A = this chain, B = another copy of it.
Amino acid sequence: MAAGPGCFLPILEWGRTYDRATLTSDLVAAVIVTIMLIPQSLAYAMLAGLPPEVGLYASILPLIAYALFGTSRTLAVGPVAVVSLMTASAVGEVAAQGTVDYAAAAVALALLSGAMLVLMGFFRLGFLASFLSHPVISGFITASGLLIAASQLKHILGVQASGDTLSAIAVSLAGNIAETSLPTLAIGLTVLAFLQFARTRLRPLLVGAGLAGRPADLVTKAAPILAVAATILLAYSLDLGARGVALVGAIPQGMPAPSFPQVSVDTLAALAMPAFLISVIGFVESVSVAQTLAAKRRQRIVPDQELIGLGAANIAAGLSSGYPVTGGFARSVVNFDAGAETPAAGVFTAIGIALAALFLTPLLASLPQATLAATIIIAVLSLVDFRAVRDVLAYSKADFAAMAATILVTLLRGVEAGVAAGVGLSLALHLYRTSRPHMAVVGQVPGTEHFRNVERHHVATEPHLLSIRVDESLYFANSRYLEDRIAALVAGRPDIRHVILMCSAVNAIDASALDSLKEINRRLRDAGIAFHLSEVKGPVMDRLKRTDFLTELTGRVFLSQHEAVCALRGC
C-alpha cells in the first residue's frame, strides 16, 4: 500500500478543507464523547492500579497526538479496559501499587509501547499483528473481560483483595468476604442495576415515550456520568466516607508538568515484553475499529501509519504522566454516531477533558469507588462473547483449541501467558495443517486431457507411471511430508519407472522444499526411477531456473500433465 503525499501528517489532508459546518459537527461529537470519557478514564485508571486522575491525563495529549498522526477520521483514543488490565499485570510485576515506582513504571510502559509502535510503523512491521489470530484475540478479550469484572468485585463489596488470575482473585475475595461493607455493597449493586437498565432498557423506553433516536442514544450514553453525579451527591450529603464507603479522595487539581520517569534498566527490560504485547493488541483492536468506521464512509485507513499515530499517542501519554492508551471501540462508535467528521473532534475532546482535570477534580473526592467499579463491570461484560466461542467450535476444531487455550490460560495464569499460549498453539496448529497438504495420486479421465484423484474417479493409470498432485505451496513445514509421502508411495510399487509431480496448486517453493525436491530426485534416481514435474507456474519456474535443480533432475518439466503422460507413455 503506497502512502500518499502528506500521509505522514494526515492533518495536512483534512485540514485544508476544514469549514464551519465541519467545526459544528466536530464540536457536538466532542461534547458527547467528553461526557462519556470522564467516568471511563477515572475507572480504567483505577483498574490499572493508578490514581484516577492519571486516567484524565491519559485522555488529553494522546488525543491531540493521534489527531496529528493517525489516519482514522473518527477513532477515539484513550485508556481502555483490556490495556488497563495488561498495564496492571505488567507494572504489578515490577512495583507495588500505590508507590511512586508503580506510577513511574506505568509511564515507562507507555513510552516503551509508544516507541515500539513508532518503530513498527517506520519499518512497516504491522504484519507482526498477523501472529494474533481472531480466535486468540477474541478469546483473550473474553477472558480479560471476566478477569476485569472479577477484579472489580472487591470495590463492590468494599473489601481488600488482589491477584492477577481468576483463582487468586477468588481466594483473596473469599478470605475477606466477612469484611463486606453493606453501604458500599448497596451503592455498588444500585449503580450496577441502573447501568444495566440504561444499557438494555432505557433507549426503547425513551423512544417509546416519543424521544427521537439520537437524543435517546445520548441520554443512554450519559447514564454513567449521571450515576457518578448522583453517588457523589449521596456520599457527600450522607458523609458515607465516615461510614466505611471507600471514596476516590482528594486528587490533585491541574495537570502534571511533562517529565521523564526515573526507572532502572532492569525495570525497562522487564517491561519490554508486556509493552510489545500491549502495542500489538492495542494496534489490532484499534485498526479493527478504525477500519469498520472508515468503511461506512468509504474512507481509508493506512495500517502502518496507524502504528505511528498510536505510537505518538502513547509517547504523549508517557510525557503527560499517563499510561498506555489505544483506540477504544465504544467511544469511537459514539464519536462517529455523534457526527464527528475529522480528528479535530479528538482535539476538542482533549480540551474538554483538560477543563475537567482543571475544574472538576475537587468534586470527585466524594465519588464512591464502587460507582467506578460498577461502570467498569458493565462496560467489560459486553466484551465477554461466549457466542463467538460456540461459533468457532462449530466451524473449526483447531481454531477452537487455540481459543480455549487462550481463555483458560489467561484466566488461570494471567494475560501474558494467555496470549503466549494462544499464539504458540495457533502457529503450531497452522503448521500442522499445512504440514500435511492434501496429496492425490491422479489418473487420466478417459477420452479427456483431465487428471483426477484415482480414489474418487474412474480414471486410467499406467503401471510404470506414478502421477501425484499436491494441493499446497511447498515450504519448510511440508517439505519433509512430501519426501515421506513420495517415499511411501514408491515403496509399495516395484514397477514404477517414472514419478510425475503435478504442481498446478504450488504457488511457491522455498529453499527447504527445493532441498526436498533434490533429495526426492536423488532417492528416486538411486532406485532407478525418473522424477518429472508438470504444470509448474511461471514465477516458481523462474526461481527454479536460478538453481542447479533442473540440471540434476533425472526427468523433465512438462507444461501440462497430459503432455507428461503422453511423452512417457507414448500417445
Contacts and interface: CB of A to CB of B under 8 A. Distances in A.
A348 to B, nearest CB: 26
Contacts of A547: 391, 394-395
A260 B249 CA distance: 63
A296 interface: yes
B483 A438 contact: no
A457 to B, nearest CB: 13
B514 A395 contact: yes
A464 interface: no
Contact of A527 (B133, B135, B296, B392): B296
- In the complex, the count of this chain's copies comes to 2
Nearest to A1: B488
A298 B494 contact: yes
Contact of A292 (B403, B471, B523): B523
Interface string A492-511: 00100000000001011011
A539 to B, nearest CB: 9
A399 to B, nearest CB: 4
A438 B539 CA distance: 12
A217 interface: no
Interface string A128-141: 11111111000000
Contact of A134 (B128, B433, B515): B515
B127 A431 contact: yes
Interface residues on A, range: 35 or more
A426 interface: yes
Interface in A366-417: 391-392, 394-396, 398-400, 403
Interface in A498-549: 505, 507-508, 510-512, 514-516, 519, 522-524, 526-527, 543, 546-547
Contacts of A436: 127
Interface string A430-466: 1111011010000000000000000000000000000
A18 B105 CA distance: 72
B300 A507 contact: no
A537 to B, nearest CB: 9
Among A399, A427, A487, A505, the most chain B Cβ lie within 10 Å of the Cβ of A487
Given A129-B480, A130-B478, A510-B398, A300 B515 contact: no
Contact of A490 (B298, B399, B510): B298
A430 B296 contact: no
A484 interface: yes
Contacts of A133: 475-476, 510-512
Contact of A300 (B128, B427, B472, B487): B487
Given A298-B494, A396-B510, A291 B426 contact: no
A272 to B, nearest CB: 16
Given A127-B436, A135-B511, A298-B490, 16 more contacts: A127-B431, A130-B476, A130-B480, A131-B477, A133-B475, A133-B511, A134-B515, A292-B523, A295-B527, A298-B491, A300-B488, A395-B514, A395-B543, A396-B510, A403-B511, A505-B505
